[in-house]
Structure 1
Amino acid sequence: MEDLQKILRFFLLSFILLSCKGNHSSPTKETISQLNLKRGNVISCGQSDGQFGTVDFDMTCNASTKKDFNLAIELLHSFEYDEAEKVFAKVIDQSPDCAMAYWGVAMSNFHPLWNPPTEAELQKGAKAIAIANSIRAKSDRESGYINAIGLFYKDWDKKDHQTRCVDFEKAMEQLHRKYPDDNEAAIFYALALDASASPTDKTYANQKKAGDILNALYPKEFEHPGIIHYIIHTYDYPGLASVALPAARRYAQVAPSSAHALHMPSHIFTRLGFWDEDIHSNLQSVAAAQCYAKQAGISGHWDEELHGLDYVVYAYLQKGNNKLAQEQVKYVSSIKSVYPVNFKIAYAFAAIPARYVLENKDWKGAAALQLPQANFSWSVFPWQEAIVHFARLLGAAHTGDFNVADTELAKLNQLKDTLNKLKDSYKEKEVAIQIKAGEAWLQFERGNQENALNQMQLAAAMEDSIEKHPVTPGEVLPARELQGDMLMEAKQYKNALAAYEAVLVKSPNRFNSLYSAGIAAEKLGDKQKAVSNFKQLLTIADTANSNRPEIGIARSFFKKD
């Protein structure tokens, strides 16, 4: 009897193991279909066809899928997330038991340096990780990759985005330490460090750690899109950007078929005030994005086009070329349909027209600015909407329409409260800076000069304490520059010059700060500084095509005795 029970237990255990293998080793078609994967041919729209860099990712899946898997990783490293998911889906179709392909789907819905994933993307990523975990045919190293991104998706409905980014970073650190010869683990760890970096950490501890990793790898893999891309992101900060200049000038050659790779170098060009390279980079990216929209059958405009246009307009304005900047402002105002609807397009729609009027100190135009209308609701994007209300507030304050200014100030406070309820502390602080700057100018125009100057100093200090969002070319109007303008009107020229010089350290070759620093220096009788700033202004400006009166004033300075 005892022997019979042993035999029965053996067969029962064997049945369970076989059942588990059948249920979990290879996902069913129904389980895969529930992921609702993006599918189709890879769209290539850059200068060359199908060139996204070179990656060799070691994995245990079917050898026949290796080429496609590497292509998916190349796309992933250039943030071509939709295209990457398509290729990971192809790998899954060919080899449904490839656990790392599901890891790739989860990574394609993460986009760490952009905006937090939507609820639909979080659900997709979580499902993909559940499938990857259910597949037993994977190495310990692959399990480490899957577990790391799994921590980002774990409890996504209970834990905030930043905490989960840190969880991912810590897990990737462990994986990197366990497999020090795995370059991909090192590269994704560097990305995780950048993603989890605090925007208030002025020591740039995470970024410097990531930079050390990436710079050590770059000489050995100079065609790797992730290494060169993440070097740019890692050093996209004042005082660090020059380190990434060689990478910025090479990335478009490494992955010329990626619209994002064509755009990304402009982050460094913007930081350094290299406006011609900035414009060239983004015009190429915009053209590639327009091509992508056409090939993908997008009804309207792709978000990468709007993103590139934001940088183009910013650069044109810093060269003083209102004509070309205004052409793009009008073009953007004609766009009524965009895909996908996300934070990037909302930012571009708000920032592009706001920048134009504010950089030109067109206060009447700023006061009359309207929220652009397209296929999305501004209620979903309070931070971006605040940009337009901030411009209206400054415009109304400068033109003496204090009732409208008070109304706009109240609206900004309302949007700040909305961001507080959403627990989006970074964007809440961005709006708080606008509120403080707006209050300062309202007080100044009402005659409360001392209080206004104190408020403006607070706004500038608040902005100095954080970094700009990675999606933006720069603040819509730097608080420190606004402080300089207020000090100039208060005839405190020495303090004004210091404020403009502080702006130029953080944002070299800004048109208005160069000009105003020159004027402040002239007022102080500091001819050397006046010459230096006016000369630099005339060097960076498109003097042949600019109608900015500041150009003529700078030129006239050199005609004086």
Structure 2
Amino acid sequence: MKKVILYLQALCLSLSVILPLSCKQKNTEVSKEGIDQLGLKRGEIITCGPPDQEFGALAVSFETSCGQTEDFNLAMALLHSFEYDEAEKIFARIIDAQPDCAMAYWGVAMSNFHPLWTPPAEPELKKGANAIALARKITQKTNRESDYIEAISAYYTDWDKLDHPTRSQKFEKAMQQLYTSYPTDKEAAIFYALALNAAADPSDKTLSKQKKAGSILQALYSKEPNHPGIVHYIIHTFDSPELADIGLAAARKYASVAPSSAHALHMPSHIFTRLGLWDESIKSNLASVSSAQCYAEASGIKGHWDEELHGIDYLMYAYLQKGDNELAKQQWEYLKTIKEVSPVNFKVLYAFAASPSRYVLENKLWKEAATLETQPANFPWEKFPWQKAIIHFARLLGNVHTGYIDSAKAELITLHQLHDNLLAQKDTYKANQVDIQQKAGEAWIKFKEGKQDKALELMQMAAEMEDKTKKHPVTPGEVIPARELLADLLLQLNKPELALQAYEADLKTHPNRFNGLYGAGMAAEKAGKPDKAGTYYRQLVSMASPAHSTRPELVSLKQYVQQ
């Protein structure tokens, strides 16, 4: 009997080299308690597109030692389209079936990272860190898998001591090493490009990391034009005035690659916005908002899903540039009906602040701007100083233009306080954004007080600061570009030549803006350049939606163009 037992042990040992799971099927290295403590999202995948869940999974091929290839590739496709909750459900399904699949825990950590959105909240950071700890415990994994796990652990290590930008840079360095170690691994290259974008410094106007990411992604795109990660990250990489035209082909491709993703339907509008392609942006975001509404209903979200608010933000911007106040106002009125959103995060509060502010400022409705309110009132605005500052900036400009200088100064004091709050939070990027608003707001106060030289100095400072800063990857753009405000001020100071130069400079980075084109035409007309004025006016009339517009500028422009 003893010989039989020894023989079976030897047989099991030898077979374990070929079939490692055969003798350890029930002896998992991760306990059920450890898995339960993660609090994984579970359930059926929710899709609001074609019935066959088209997320571009067929173009994804990620090799693991776990098997379950089809599930893993679907989870990766969802991850690449930032469908983080749905991706985590698939990774949870893999863990339930195979608790010792180390890469499934890596997937959970990646699903809680969302590098280009709001930094993870504490529960997400804890979940990601715990998932990595479990993945490290599992010995049954390849060297490549270990390297993937260590790369994302670079982000989660010391999450309670290091800030998000520092940890994003650590992740970038780790992914660079992974990319170098596995030159034929397509997914390593794609995630390295994402890491470069996540670690990019918003104040780096050379766009060095974006250009490096772009070269990697474009090389892959020529061979893999239907891979959701490649087309998605190309759009994020080239989401700047200097590079946007390079990303146009991918932007027009992405929605067809992953039509079941609300985010995939929205993302092309980032490039369309940079290039002033308003009709395409509107079409993109109408589809995204509809998909997001469907997702909220199907998933049982109480209220609205954050992705819907994100699409509305871009819709408002595009409608305003076409002069379509009727449809723009509909978005604002709809926003007023929204009282609950899940999750309440950066882009939600941004949409609530920026959309109404854009409407009143772009239309120069100064009285309405002066009395603008933060809505919904029950949202935690104190946690989002930058978004709150947008409302106060709109109020400041409204009070200035209606002659209430003391009220404008009170709003300026509030902007100073919000700026200091952001500095205390060590959020220098957003603090810089509020500083630009402070200088612009103070410039217009000085102008109304008759201090023209000081007004011009402050407004030029604001414009130069904004020129040196990249826009936030979530937003369609500044509420009002500082250089456009500078041009408005120069026009008020009866300096049409300089105003024209400022408008033209701003139109290079914000093409086809309604007020930019109209202002450039006015400045050219006052500077005695009727041909140039006509060019800008004709461009505005051809771009706008006169049939749906209540903008008085378009009525007079049609007569001017005819003459």
TM-score using structure 1 length: 0.94
Partner of 1:12: none
How far is 1:22 from its partner? 11
Q: Are the counterparts in 2 of residues 24 and 136 from structure 1 also a CA contact under 8 Å? A: no
- Within 5 Å, give how 1:532-551 maps onto structure 2: 532-551=535-554
Quickly say closer, same or farther: Cα 1:380–1:95, change in 2 above 3 A.
Answer: same
**Counterpart amino acid of 1:59?**
E
Query: 1:135, 1:266 → 2: CA distance?
Result: 42
Q: Deviations over 1:66-88 (max 9, x none)?
A: 11111110000000011111111
Q: What 5-or-longer segments of structure 2 have no aligned partner?
A: 1-23
Aligned match for 1:333, one of 333, 336, 339: 336
Deviations 1:92-131 (A, max 9, x none): 1011100000000000011011111111111111001101
- Secondary structure of the structure 1 residue equivalent to 2:38: coil
Report the Cα offset of residue 374 of structure 1: 5.4
1:59 aligns with 2:94: no
Q: Structure 2: which amino acid aligns with 1:113?
A: L
**Overall identity of the aligned pairs, in %:** 61
Q: From the superposition, tell whether residues 23 and 413 of structure 1 become closer, same or farther in structure 2 (CA, over 3 Å).
A: farther
| Post-superposition offset of 1:146 | 0.5
Change in 2 beyond 3 A, CA 1:226/1:36: same
Which range moved further: 509-518 or 194-203? 194-203
**C-alpha separation in 2, matches of 1:240 and 1:324:** 30
Matched, 1:69 2:98: no
Give the C-alpha shift of residue 454 in structure 1: 0.5
Q: 1:522-545 CA distances to partner (integer Å, 9 max, x unpaired)?
A: 111112211211111011100111
Contact kept in structure 2, 1:144 and 1:175, CA below 8 Å: yes
> How many angstroms apart in 1 are the aligned matches of 2:381 and 2:323?
30
SS at match of 1:544: helix
Give 1:402's aligned amino acid: I
Deviation at 1:23, TM superposition (A): 12
Counterpart CA distance in 2 for 1:423 and 1:382 is 12
Q: Aligned pair 1:284/2:290, yes or no?
A: no
Taking structure 1 as reference, are residues 404 and 547 closer, same or farther at Cα in structure 2, changes over 3 Å only?
same
Structure 2 equivalent of residue 383 of structure 1: 386
Deviation, structure 1 residue 55? 4.0
Q: State which of 123, 128, 133 in structure 2 corresponds to 1:125.
A: 128
Q: Distance in 1 between matches of 2:408 and 2:25?
A: 67
Give CA deviations for 1:155-199 in whole Å, capped at 9, x if unaligned. Answer: 111111111111111111111111100000000000001111111
With over 3 angstroms needed to count, the CA separation of the structure-2 counterparts of 1:48 and 1:270, relative to structure 1, is: farther
Q: 1:48 to 1:251 in 2, by over 3 A?
A: farther
Matched, 1:451 2:454: yes
Verify the 8 A CA contact 1:73 1:84 in the aligned structure 2. Answer: yes
Counterpart in the other structure of 1:503: 506
Q: Tell me, yes or no, if structure 1 residue 97 matches structure 2 residue 100.
A: yes
Alignment partner, residue 17 of structure 2: none
Which 10-residue stretch deviates more, 213-222 or 327-336? 213-222
Q: Is 2:91 aligned against 1:110?
A: no
Matches within 5 A, 1:298-337: 298-337=301-340
1:395-436: CA deviation from partner (whole Å, max 9, x where unpaired): 011111112111111111111111111100100000110011
Q: CA deviation at 1:60?
A: 3.2
Query: Which sits farther off after the overlay, 367-376 or 387-396?
Result: 367-376
| One-letter amino acid of the structure 1 residue matched with residue 191 of structure 2 | F
CA separation in 1, counterparts of 2:375 and 2:561?
A: 42
- Aligned partners of 1:153 and 1:24: how far apart in 2? 28
Q: CA RMSD in A?
A: 1.4
C-alpha separation between the residues in 2 aligned to 1:153 and 1:199? 22
- TM alignment of 1:143-542, pairs within 5 A: 143-373=146-376, 375-542=378-545
Mapped partners of 1:314, 1:492: distance in 2: 29
Please, what TM-score do these two structures have when normalized by structure 2?
A: 0.94
Distance in 2 between residues matched to 1:209 and 1:496, nearest whole Å: 36
**C-alpha separation in 1, matches of 2:60 and 2:301:** 32
Segments of 4+ in structure 1 off by > 6 A?
A: 21-24
Point out where structure 1 has 5 or more consecutive residues left out of the alignment: 1-20
User: Distance between the aligned counterparts of 2:238 and 2:350, measured in 1?
Assistant: 22
Counting matched residue pairs gives 539
When residues 387 and 24 of structure 1 are mapped into structure 2, their CA distance, relative to the original with a 3 A threshold, is: farther
Instruction: Give the match for residue 16 of structure 2.
Output: none
Structure 2: how far apart are the matches of 1:484 and 1:305? 34
- What is the Cα deviation at residue 200 of structure 1? 1.1
What corresponds to 1:13 in structure 2? Answer: none
* d(CA) in 1 for partners of 2:86, 2:100: 21
Quote the Cα distance in structure 2 between the aligned partners of 1:26 and 1:212.
Answer: 41
Measure the CA separation in 2 of the matches of 1:424 and 1:379.
15
| Mapped contact 1:338–1:374 kept (Cα < 8 A) | no
